[in-house]
Amino acid sequence: DQQVKQNSPSLSVQEGRISILNCDYTNSMFDYFLWYKKYPAEGPTFLISISSIKDKNEDGRFTVFLNKSAKHLSLHIVPSQPGDSAVYFCAASGGNQFYFGTGTSLTVIP
């Protein structure tokens, strides 16, 4: 049973434009959410996180939005750069275990 879902397997965006990656979860007990970025043949690297007491967290070009009522979070990348091309995973936790989505492959076109 997939508790964290990323319904878009892939996304293509022009360089300089905004990339929006979406993630939905089913467990209302989740209170900590993270985004990871993964290049081929490498492990995922932490990008940004948000606690359930917030609805927005920014770090440079990356902003994560959390809508608890909709059980939805999104990652905004502005402006998108070719080096952002990677697979992005969202993850959620309500205890000491993380649940990951299936990933969205982002391609930023120069």
Q: Which residues bind other proteins (CB under 8 A)?
A: 6, 9, 32, 34, 36, 41-46, 49, 51, 89, 91, 93-103
Give the three-state DSSP class for 84: helix
Of 51 and 81, the one with the shorter C-beta distance to other proteins is 51
Number of neighbouring beta carbons within 10 Å of residue 51: 10
CB of 8 to other proteins, least distance (A): 13
Sign of CA pseudo-dihedral 72, 77, 83, 85: positive
Of 34 and 108, the one with the shorter C-beta distance to other proteins is 34
